[in-house]
């Protein structure tokens, strides 16, 4: 709820409570709508889930799904689901690559991503380009760990990059898509990503979520900013 101080007039305090109540109702509406939408999408994309799973099994073997620990609402860790797009022992491959490539280390420190990521398989690169790897996160939404729209989930090691704004991140469920996705995705620096997330949370509305979803659809179709 918005801050209320003793110096505020009764009218101002009443306005704060009305605003907080309205936002609470809107968030309840958001949760109901996204659960219904996710159920519909899981049915609609079930052939895609099956096809991708069989392709991954044939080309890369098991496991098909990859569960990476991320930080969720209220700082609670959860397993963020993706189709596996990386080689086995991916973290070791990343450490070795960054140790041998100073330019890549600089890129990693700035945006926490690599254009030429040695961990990603050829099939995985194609899946990422089409954003197919993130389809299993619909299950995270259904379980209440994520939302369709929100700040993208981060690793515990990235919390320090949010600085004093980390509690803004904690206040909402991370999203499958969000302001970072529609502002350039991998082309956006991490400090800018934090700025976008904070602005989104503090000025959230259902209208803004709908706008982000529509923009995301266009970005996925054009494969803009993904690697």
> Which residues partner with 70 through β-bridges?
78
CA distance 179 to 200: 7
Please write the tens of the pLDDT for every residue from 32-69.
999 999 999 999 999 999 999 999 999 999 999 999 99
Determine the pLDDT at residue 173. Answer: 95
Query: What percentage of residues in the chain have a pLDDT greater than 90?
Result: 55
Per-residue tokens: 164? 């004093």
Outline where DSSP puts E strands in 17-169: 65-71, 77-83, 147-149
Cα–Cα distances in angstroms (integers) from residue 193 to residues 6, 38, 72, 120, 183, in the given order = 35, 26, 17, 23, 9
Where are the chain's structural domains?
18-85+120-221
- pLDDT at residue 88 greater than cutoff 60: yes
Do 174 and 147 meet the contact criterion of CB atoms below 8 Å apart?
yes
Indicate if the pLDDT at residue 175 is higher than 80. yes
Q: How many CA atoms within 13 Å lie on the side-chain side of 181?
A: 26
Confidence of residue 129 (pLDDT cuts 50, 70, 90): confident
CB distance 155 to 70 below 8 Å: yes
User: Within its chain, how far is the Cα of 185 from the centroid?
Assistant: 10
Q: pLDDT, tens digit, for every residue of 98-128? A: 998 988 888 888 878 888 888 999 999 999 8
From 123, 118, 45, select the one nearest 83 (Cα to Cα). Answer: 123
pLDDT for res 224: 65
- Model pTM score: 0.82
């Amino acid at each position: 709820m918005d801050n209320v101080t003793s110096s505020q007039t009764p009218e101002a305090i009443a306005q704060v409570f009305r605003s907080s109540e309205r936002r609470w109702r809107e968030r309840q509406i958001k949760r109901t709508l996204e659960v219904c939408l996710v159920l519909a999408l899981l049915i609609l994309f079930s052939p895609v889930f099956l096809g991708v799973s069989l392709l991954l099994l044939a080309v890369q073997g098991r496991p098909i799904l990859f569960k990476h620990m991320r930080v969720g609402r209220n700082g609670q860790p959860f397993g963020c689901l993706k189709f596996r797009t990386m080689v086995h022992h991916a973290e070791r491959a990343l450490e070795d690559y960054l140790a041998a490539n100073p330019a890549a280390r600089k890129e990693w420190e700035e945006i926490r991503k690599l254009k030429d990521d040695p961990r990603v398989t050829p099939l995985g690169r194609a899946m990422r380009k089409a954003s197919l790897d993130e389809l299993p996160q619909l299950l995270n939404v259904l379980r209440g760990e994520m939302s369709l729209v929100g700040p993208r989930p981060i690793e515990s090691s990235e919390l320090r990059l949010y600085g004093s704004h980390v509690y803004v991140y904690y206040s909402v469920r991370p999203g499958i898509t969000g302001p970072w996705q529609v502002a350039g995705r991998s082309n956006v620096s991490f400090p800018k990503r934090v700025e976008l997330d904070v602005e989104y949370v503090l000025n959230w509305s259902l209208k803004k979520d709908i706008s982000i979803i529509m923009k995301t659809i266009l970005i996925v179709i054009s494969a803009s900013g993904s690697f």
